[in-house]
């Protein structure tokens, strides 16, 4: 509400991504390349509660000011099927050390992939620029599976009609 009180009329709140599937967790939890069920479960509990809070805030305000981005689902799409999105892997980070390049920070001593555009993750936690573009596309034009209560393009269209 602090942001709304300062004058914001459209706020996108992102949920958590597929935290159990990032290279850091694959390296540290030794899941043989599978996502950490415990962390994935935590993310699956958090995101619906976030949407509930957004719904309550919007009801209180009487307008759809707050929009929720289901970044977990957006990222999970390319994590579960990287080849469909042109990635060679969603398990190994482009830059890092250790198993899955998931240990430590990206430094001059790190392993570095030859082409970051074919990796879903840049480092132990963060998607590559190309992967982030996929997530942003869902924020712009995605269905309610990805955005609640509407995507950004719809919100911008509504706002332009009210000018």
Q: Is the pLDDT of residue 163 over 70?
A: no
- Residue 6: CB atoms within 10 Å: 7
Structure tokens at 16: 């958590």
Is 0.75 surpassed by the pTM of this model? yes
> Rounded distance, CA 46 to CA 36, Å?
16
Question: For the chain, what is the mean pLDDT?
Answer: 94
CATH number at residue 151: 3.40.50.1110
Q: How many separate domains does the chain show?
A: 1
pLDDT tens per residue across span 23-33: 999 999 877 87
- Domain boundaries, position 24: 2-161
> Rounded distance, CA 118 to CA 90, Å?
9
**Could you tell me where the beta strands, DSSP code E, fall in the chain?**
11-14, 66-69, 95-96, 111-112, 147-148
Q: What torsion, rounded to 10 degrees, do the Cα atoms 124, 130, 131, 132 define?
A: 90
Q: Is the pLDDT of residue 157 over 80?
A: yes
Q: Determine the pLDDT at residue 134.
A: 96
The percentage of residues in the chain with a pLDDT greater than 70, rounded to a whole number, is 99
Q: Is the pLDDT of residue 128 over 70?
A: yes
> Rounded distance, CA 16 to CA 70, Å?
8
pLDDT tens per residue across span 64-109: 999 999 999 999 999 999 999 999 999 999 999 999 999 999 999 9
Lowest-confidence range among 36-45, 113-122, 144-153?
36-45
């Amino acid at each position: 509400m602090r942001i709304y009180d300062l004058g914001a009329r459209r706020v996108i709140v992102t949920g958590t991504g597929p935290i159990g599937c990032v290279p850091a967790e694959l390296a540290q939890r030794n899941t043989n390349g599978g996502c950490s069920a415990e962390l994935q479960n935590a993310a699956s509990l958090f995101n619906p509660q976030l949407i509930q809070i957004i719904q309550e805030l919007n009801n209180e305000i009487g307008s759809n000011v707050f929009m929720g981005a289901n970044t977990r689902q957006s990222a999970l799409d390319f994590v579960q099927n990287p080849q469909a999105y042109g990635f060679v892997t969603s398990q190994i980070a482009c830059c890092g050390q250790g198993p899955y390049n998931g240990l430590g920070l990206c430094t001059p001593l790190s392993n570095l992939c030859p082409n970051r555009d074919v990796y879903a993750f840049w480092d132990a936690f963060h998607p590559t620029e190309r992967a982030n573009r996929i997530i942003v596309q869902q924020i712009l034009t995605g269905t309610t599976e990805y955005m609640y209560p509407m995507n950004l393009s719809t919100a911008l269209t509504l706002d332009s009609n009210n000018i």
